[in-house]
Structure 1
Amino acid sequence: MRVLVMFDMPTHTKEDRKNSAKFRKELIKGGFIMLQFSVYVRICKGVASANSHLDRLDLILPEKGNIRALILTEKQFDHMRLLLGKRSKIEEINKPRQLVLF
């Protein structure tokens, strides 16, 4: 499973920029990686783990801004299409590998 977090934060004032940077740092500290600017993703073991990470996000929400989150299966995430440009180095490094359990 993956948790995809998308957000728009105001950056008009110094305090807004500070709050936005703090939110990003907390996402990274929580194991999220940047997929593109203001879009972060984290791999989770299952739905319970994904919901747990979303509950932790509730604790660090800034007062201003819009934050959306999706829980995606690996299959859904793999069907994401990149419509412009090419994969970045970070996307190539973080490509999911097939895991086989016996």
Structure 2
Amino acid sequence: MNRFSEYRIMWILVFFDLPTETKKDRKIYATFRKKLIQDGFTMFQFSIYLRHCASRENAEVHIKRVKSFLPPAGEIGILCITDKQFANIELFVGKKEKEVHTPYQQLELF
């Protein structure tokens, strides 16, 4: 099996809608975002962050990590898709199609 197969490489998307009414809510929101970024996630849209992973096993590690710092309130979704599935995304700004740029390429050194 090809180690870098588009069916083996994974993308994790974290969708969230967190309360921001109080100062405490906003701090929890900011902390959650900060922890996502520290774990290598990149903002895709305002409340959608994504991360490239070399394998399903690597993705599971990061999914488990996100679950460890879920905030007490709000709604969070975690979706894991293959690189092949992610390549089929169509993005639009208004009615104009936008070229898809991957945030970064992750390299593995052993």
Q: Quickly name the TM-score band, shorter chain normalised.
A: 0.7 to 0.9
> Among residues 83, 95, 101, which one is paired with 1:92 in the alignment?
101
Percent of aligned positions that are identical: 44
Q: Secondary structure at the match of 1:83?
A: strand
Please list every run of at least 4 consecutive aligned residues from structure 1 whose deviation after the TM superposition is greater than 4 angstroms: none
Offset, 1:95: 6.6
Matched, 1:12 2:21: yes
Q: Which of the two has greater helix per residue?
A: 1
**Structure 1: distance between partners of 2:51 and 2:20:** 25
Cα separation, partners in 2 of 1:58 and 1:93, compared to 1, 3 Å: closer
Aligned position for 1:79? 88
Q: Size of the alignment, in residue pairs?
A: 94
Aligned position for 2:45? 36
Cα separation, partners in 2 of 1:82 and 1:43, compared to 1, 3 Å: same
- Listed as ranges, the gaps of 5+ residues in structure 1 are 97-102
Could you tell me the TM-score, scaled by structure 2's length?
0.77
Cα RMSD, aligned residues only: 1.9
Q: Which of the two has greater strand per residue?
A: 2
